[in-house]
Amino acid sequence: MIDPALIQSVIRVLFAVVIITAAYIISTRNLSTLVSAYAFQSLTLVFMALALWSLEDAPILLAIAIITFISKVLIIPYFITTIQERIRIKRDIEFHFLSPTTSLLLSMGLILFIYIALSNILKDTAARESLFFFGAVIGLSLMLMGMMVTFSRKRAITKVLGYLSMENGVLLFGMFVTELPFIIEFLIVIDLIILVMLTTILSVGLDSTLEEYHDRLHRFHLVEDTEEGS
Amino acid sequence: MIQETLFVIALLVFVAGILIPLATASRDQRIFRIVSHGCTVIGSAALGILALLVLLTGDGLSWTLYQPLPGCSLSVTIDRLAAFFLLLIAAVSACVALYTAEYVEHLEGGSRRNLLCACTNLFILAMALVVVSANTFAFLIFWELMAGCSFLLVMYDYAGPETRKAGIFYFVMTQLSTLFVLLGIVLLYGQTGSFAFTRTGVSLIATLAFIALLIGFSIKAGIIPFHKWLPYAHPASPTPISALMSGVMLKIAVYGLLRFLLDVFSPDLWWGILILILGIVSAVLGIIYALKEYDIKAMLAYSSIENTGIIFTGIGLYVIFASSGQPVIATISLLGALFHALNHAMFKSLLFLTAGSVVHATHTRDIEHMGGLVHRMPCTSALFFVGALAIAALPPLNGFASEILIFISFFSSVAVADPLFKVFLFLCLGLFALTSALSAACFVKAFGSIFLALPRSPESSRAQEVPFLMLLGPALLASACIVLGLFAAQLFLLVGLSVPIPDMFLVGLLLLAMAFLTFAVLYFTASREVRVTGTWGCGTPSLKPAMEYSGHGFSEPIEIIFSTVYRTEMKNERKFFDAKNCIFAEGTADIRLMKIFEEYLYLPVARFSYLAATKISRFQNGCLDTYLLYVFCAVIAIIVYLGWLA
Amino acid sequence: MILAAFIVTALAALGLIAVSRTHRQMNSICIGEAAVFLGLEIWLLLSGQIPVLSLVLGNQYFFIDHLGLYEALIASIIFLLAAIYARGYVDNLLESRELGRGSLKLFYVAWAFLLALIVFAFFSDNLALFWIFTELTTVVSAILIAILYARDNIDAAIKYIFIASVSMLFSFVGLIFLFQISRSTFDPGTLNWTVLMQQAPAFPAGMMLAAFALLFIGFAAKSGIFPFHTWLPEAHVRAPSAVSALLSGVLLNVGIYGIIRIFALVHRTTAVSTVSILLLVFGLLTVGIAAISMLPQKKLKKLIAFSSIENMGLILVGLAIATPVAIFWTLFHVMAHSFTKAGLFFSAGILHRQYHSPLSADAVDDMHDVFRFQPVAAWGIILGGLAIIGMPLFPVFLSKLFILTQLFTVSLPALVLLLVLLFIAAASFGYYVISTFTQVSQPGPDAHDIVAYKTPAGMQWPIIILIVMIFILGTVFTSGETGFLNTIVAELMF
Amino acid sequence: MSLSFIIYLVINTLVVLAIAPLFVSIIKKVKAWTQGRQGPSLFQTYFNLAKLVKKETIYSAHSSWIMRITPLVSIAAILVAALFVPLVFVPEPVGGIGNIILLLYLLALAKFFMALAGLDAGSSFGGMGSSREMSISAIIEPTTIIVFAALAFVFKTLNVFTMFSASVASGTTSTPTLILLAISLFIILIVETSRIPVDNPETHLELTMIHEGMILEQSGPNLALMELSSAVKLTLLMALLINLIVPFGLSTTLTLGALVLAIVLFALKGTILAGIIGLFESSMAKMRFFRLPSLFAMAFFFSTLIIIIEVFA
């Protein structure tokens, strides 16, 4: 058995890593780096789940780690990369509302803000002192940072990554509430995968011309045959 | 027992009148419409008999029609007030139905006319049910039903160019009226905890409820400044509908106000003053605007505004006297208001129906294009003449009989209130007198321009008298006008009310006697030679229609005298040859009457709301990023709220 | 097991669609699925054995109580009618090549799946399960929106997915909070609504508030509450009208259902006063923004969509009042709104087919001679419009009236504000309908001849049925109906 | 209806018919004197009427039954109105006869018909006359009603008969209020009977005529009736003024002596008032039509002032 204090500090380090990857996702312009950053963030979460597993010895955490690894580190990044290659988009340099620097500064503010807000909310509860609190702070911050990506980037595919980053925040938070039934976690992941696939496919539709889009749909075997556009 | 039976019969007959044309909506056959109108007449007759029974015996009827939910039932209570209005509805509806049976056949629209019949029946039924509603819940339901039906009826000729504007005005104003009535009823419900017409004490909520209801009913009654829908809706809708709306629906609003004033509120003095001011202002402005109208139906609509103003004046006086401890005068004012409501229903529907006949015959609503119809449509002109006499409040017809009651209460008011208040009432009296004099001028103009002198357009020189049924309905109304006028005093005695109204029958007899004696004397003494020749035209060989005094010319002096009220606007546009504006090139000058309320009240409000709405709807700018930003901001706001405020 | 029957039906439907070849077959399967669902629900209703608890395994994931059954009934009825309607509608879409023939199977699979998902969402006891089903409905309905052969549709679907999913993530955080609350109160923690309801009075107010607010974000986005409503007008405008009817009549209810459930929880704690204010504010803002946005609308479906938002706001206000009477009428309003709105969208769909209005949300409709071409649809719009603005004899009138009377007990200014906003909404609706339906072209040689679209009877009957239904709903109240609604209120412990 | 009332009906009508043309002549005579002319005979109006009755009636081809019944209605309405103002004998009021509002509206009835008759033939003079007449009568109406209301207030009754009885009972001592009211009544009389400065009854100049314009198309016996009715209207308004201010001699009991005395006294008082009217007219110039509203506003202001004084006193 490893020393709980050590694990707790490891977890804290992982928190920092997660936040850093999130910041990277916010500010980078290169799409393939973006996907890598996301995969790395998910990997961090896997490690975090493992660390928590060793701390609390709940088998569900191990399961979460495995599912996360398979879906978020392997399948989804692979899928998005494939799509990216097909639509030949490399960079997303248009920003809406926020420039990368402002986003970074803002996200720092957000973390602080959520910390204060949550400590106010959880003032009188037992949850205030536990890891639950940290999980909540980091999870929510991650969500809001991911959300900043969704509304400040032009390309739909970047938005998807922002959304995924948000989802990571939820997962991070969820890991600290271990008794959540496993089936729920499992279904959520399935749901997520479907959602991501659909969104990505649709994003392709937005980011390319209609004819190409239907052509691709055909190649994905989503529709049986293609007709000429009206 | 007989009351219940009559009521059920009326209800069933009306329902039949609604369903028969609806079921046959696809078939454009006259027989179904006749049956439907027959149902209206029979149903109205049953209602009328019921109302008379209740009025004479005082034995009311109280009955629950249908109880959808506990606590709110569609119940019926017919007391004397309800019976009075029921009588009004029944009388007008029956006559209008007789008229419509013929009129509808001359309308365009094929089988849409079946819908018109069905909807008319529903409209009448809804009005009757509003009046007999035993609680505010039923009142509200039937009120809305009435509003909905009347809206559909106004939109009958939906393709007409003016109908769109009329429809929008009517719809919006109706909804506004509903808003206020609903607010009032909700407030009362909150106050008393039930939908019954129960008396509330004096409280802020009760006052607010009263204000809300007053505004709601004022809108429906066409009280200035909420009147604007009337002059649009009436010309746009088919004639019988105008007659029903003007003759009956406005009275339903009056009924609503009275019902709440009498049964629910304990009125304060200033309520009365408020109602009185609304009434007087509507009466004066209504008739002043009527004078400048050349669209016959719009003119009648404005005249309706005036008459509702008179009714409101009576109600205002009632509240004033009732709250200052003068029950006798209060009763006179109330009876005046009620009687005027009845009389106005009679003569205004008479006027609308005959005006409809005229429009039917001449294919125009502009009185400047009519003229000379007295020779071509003698019966219609005689009927219109009776209506004009009545509405101008000339003895011995009914318009005078009710106005004199209000005059009497005005006259007796001086002895009772405090000095300043007396002066106020005197000023109101002066304005009230002005109103009735102007309405005489207005109807001289109307009758003169429409029926007298030479035809001013080819259509009106080719006009033909309308068929029998289109004369029968108005004729019944005209005889009602005469009977209600001549026997006013006797009728009041019959229902057991003593009012200081002159014996108009006696006056009528005297008038007849004098006329007869004069005729007799002249017959025996005077020359009986008669020569028919051209009108003297200062030596011009023949009189042209263009030489006649026109309706515009007739009301010109009054327009000049009241020019401050009419607010004409002069526009000069000049163009010059040179830059320094010295050499005049060409220009246009244009004087037009401003529609004050429309231009300063309605349109600015509409424009402002539209502008604001356009601004706000830019919120929905079609950009996903913005939408997500909203979500982001909302989330932040919620977290702030949770962290610091909650 | 009744649930198994539902599952089997849904799977059978999906399987049959997968093997069927023609449009007619697929459509009939969807009709059949909805009919079977409806039949099962009616059987449940009549058998009187609700609430059905413990449907799956030891851990109780599913249950059927009155509220769930109520919502499921509404959903099944609308699905049934929409499927009947869709046959003619989709035929025309295919003819005009707005829908690729290849996408047909995807469309019907999504359709059948959506019904199953929605019904299972209503039958979930576990809130997390409910969350998942709700999330899946977003996905599936987005497919239905995006199915048309136009970029605008994809755009609308993307908006829908992003806004709904992003907000739903916050909901999930709320669920975690809720779970944490339950875990700190009793062991082991659970997300089962029935259990939570038992334990709710012991929950700490502050945490409960946070949980509610976060959950509210997601469900509000699903039900089109300001400021999360932005997806709604665009999705409703661009989706095929049969789908618009589903979105408005059924899918919005899913979000509202979630809000009702968690509000019932909060109502048992001391946080209720704060939450009520929150709901009231959001409700009024929603009604306000919707009503004002309706005013300058030049597009029928967008107008109807905004009207849905307005009604959702009204429902929120009704919930915020939180008296049993208010809840009763709020539930009634949910049903009234669903049926009325479905009728309106069906009618709008016929007009859409007739005039081929551009899909783009900002394009102006060009309608004229509606009564000549499409009398049924025109009357559907008129009567449906009268119903939705709250004319009596229609159910919305009653729910509106009683929500207003109950609102008076809470706040007079809110009452006045709400009335004014409802007036604006009604006026906007009337303004649009009057100014559009009175457009008549003069028949003549120079008039550009528009060919009357021969509306199949299958597209007209659902409108007529719905109008008759709402008329009956607004006038006839059986003791069974009121008893049923009262049971729901009692089960929600208001 | 008592016998005395029926006798009253007969006496009042006969007296007013007999005396009305005389007053018209007197005014004309006084005006002629002030202009330094001798003027027509005092019986000239009677002669005129007699002459007109013997002449043929000419109708315009465009005119209708309105034109034909107007003279009858007009004279009937004004004669009935005259019944409301007892000239020489005040009986008990019966059935609202004597109601001051009804009196006013009977006059309006006559005016309504006259205005229509003016429009009937399609002559532009007639139309102009009607238009002006209705405008003037509309804007004088507030003043009239205020004055009548003041009368009703002072005498605490709406009935002219009762007013006269009260006036007789209180003797000749008129209160200051009554004198002020009399001035208002005088203005109303001037306006209602179309006299200078409102209208000039003497001319047929198209720019000035109002009343004459309306009856321009009347001829023969019809014209006689119109002339007679306007004379009767003048008389009854004069009688209202006289019997309120100087009621002495007005009989309240039905005896022959009192009646004869009352007739003589009334003729005397009427002659004096007619003289005053004549003098008043001579001292004035006809006003421009559109300046009339300010005159009426003055009258209205004046009457209201009286009432306010009375009210606050």
The pair of structure tokens assigned to A79 is 């899928």
Chains touching C (3+ CB pairs < 8 Å)? A, B
Whether the pLDDT of residue A205 is over 70: the answer is: no
pLDDT grade for C229, boundaries at 50, 70 and 90: confident
Ranges of each domain in chain A: 4-178
Least confident of B281-290, B408-417, C210-219, D95-104: B408-417
Cβ separation A97–B629 shorter than 8 A: yes
Whether the pLDDT of residue A219 is over 60: the answer is: no
User: Which value, to the nearest 10 degrees, does the dihedral of the CA atoms of residues A160, A162, A166, A172 take?
Assistant: 100
Ranges of each domain in chain D: 3-312
- CA–CA gap between residue B536 and residue B388 (Å, rounded): 28
**Identity of the residue in B144, B167, B622 whose CB atom sits nearest the CB atom of C438:** B167
Cβ separation D145–B372 shorter than 8 A: no
- Residue B608: partners with Cβ closer than 8 Å, 6 or more residues away: none
- CA–CA gap between residue C306 and residue B403 (Å, rounded): 51
CB count within 10 Å of CB D280 equals: 18
Longest dimension (CA), chain C: 81
Cβ separation C438–B164 shorter than 8 A: yes
Which of B123, B105, B46 is CA-nearest to residue B470?
Answer: B105
Q: Are C154 and C146 in contact (CB under 8 A)?
A: yes
- CA–CA gap between residue B101 and residue B42 (Å, rounded): 13
What is the full per-residue pLDDT of chain D (313 aa) written as tens digits? 678 888 888 989 999 999 999 999 999 999 999 988 888 888 999 999 999 999 998 888 888 888 889 999 999 999 999 988 988 888 888 877 888 999 999 999 999 999 999 888 888 888 888 888 888 888 888 888 888 888 888 888 888 888 888 888 876 555 777 777 888 888 888 888 888 788 877 776 666 678 888 888 888 899 999 999 999 999 999 999 888 888 888 888 888 888 888 899 999 999 999 999 999 988 888 888 888 888 888 888 877 777 777 656 5
Over residues B525-540, the pLDDT tens digits come to: 888 888 888 777 777 7
The pair of structure tokens assigned to C252 is 């919005």
**Domains in chain C: how many in total?**
1
- Residue B480: partners with Cβ closer than 8 Å, 6 or more residues away: B91, B346, B398
Over residues C330-360, the pLDDT tens digits come to: 999 999 999 999 999 999 888 888 877 665 5
Q: How far is D108 from chain B (nearest CA, A)?
A: 7
Cβ separation C292–B624 shorter than 8 A: no
C92, C127, C180, best to mutate vs chain A, most A CBs in 10 Å? C180
Chain C CB contacts of B642 below 8 Å: 209-210, 213
Whether the pLDDT of residue A229 is over 50: the answer is: no
Residue C448 located in a structural domain: no
Least confident of B572-576, C442-446, D285-289: C442-446
Q: How far is B511 from chain D (nearest CA, A)?
A: 5
3-state secondary structure string, A16-50?
HHHHHHHHHHHHCCEHHHHHHHHHHHHHHHHHHHH
The C residues from 156 to 185 touching B (CB cutoff 8 Å) are 158-159, 162-163, 166-167, 170
- CA–CA gap between residue D221 and residue D205 (Å, rounded): 23
pLDDT grade for C186, boundaries at 50, 70 and 90: confident
Over residues C252-294, the pLDDT tens digits come to: 999 999 999 899 888 888 888 888 888 999 999 999 999 888 8
Rounded mean pLDDT, B325-354: 91
Rounded mean pLDDT, C354-382: 75
Q: What type of residue sits at position D282? A: S
Average pLDDT value for chain C: 84
Chain D CB contacts of B397 below 8 Å: none
The pair of structure tokens assigned to B280 is 């007087």
Packing angle, helices A156-175 and C151-185, rounded to 10: 10
Could you list the residue range(s) of the whole structural domain that residue C360 is in? 2-441+453-491
Rounded mean pLDDT, A79-92: 72
- CA–CA gap between residue A35 and residue B499 (Å, rounded): 95
User: Number of CB pairs < 8 Å for A and B?
Assistant: 40
Chains D vs A: touching, with 3+ CB pairs under 8 Å? no
**Identity of the residue in A126, A170, A206 whose CB atom sits nearest the CB atom of C154:** A206
Per-range mean pLDDT, top range of A57-71, B22-36, C44-58, D9-23: D9-23
Report pLDDT for C95: 82
How does A46-78 read in b/e, with b if 16+ C-beta sit within 10 Å?
bbbbbbbbbbeeeebbeebbebbbebbbeebbe
**Identity of the residue in A167, A177, A181 whose CB atom sits nearest the CB atom of C176:** A177
pLDDT grade for A225, boundaries at 50, 70 and 90: very low
Whether the pLDDT of residue B278 is over 90: the answer is: yes
Strand partners, B530: D57
Strand partners, B66: B74
Whether the pLDDT of residue B374 is over 80: the answer is: yes
B452, B504, B565, best to mutate vs chain D, most D CBs in 10 Å? B452
pLDDT grade for B386, boundaries at 50, 70 and 90: very high
pLDDT grade for C5, boundaries at 50, 70 and 90: confident
The DSSP secondary-structure symbol of B225 reads: T
Q: How far is B635 from chain A (nearest CA, A)?
A: 9
Handedness of CA B463, B469, B470, B475 (dihedral sign): positive
Contact of A46 with chain B, judged by CB distance below 8 Å, is answered with no
Rounded mean pLDDT, C105-128: 87
Report pLDDT for B48: 92
Q: How far is B161 from chain D (nearest CA, A)?
A: 33
How is D110-158 classified by DSSP, letter by letter?
A: HHHHHHHHHHHT--HHHHHHHHHHHHHHHHHHHHHHHHHHHHHHHHT-S
Percent of chain B with pLDDT strictly greater than 90: 31
Least confident of B366-370, B620-624, C336-340: B620-624
User: What ipTM goes with this model?
Assistant: 0.87
Report pLDDT for B469: 86
Chain B CB contacts of C412 below 8 Å: 187, 208
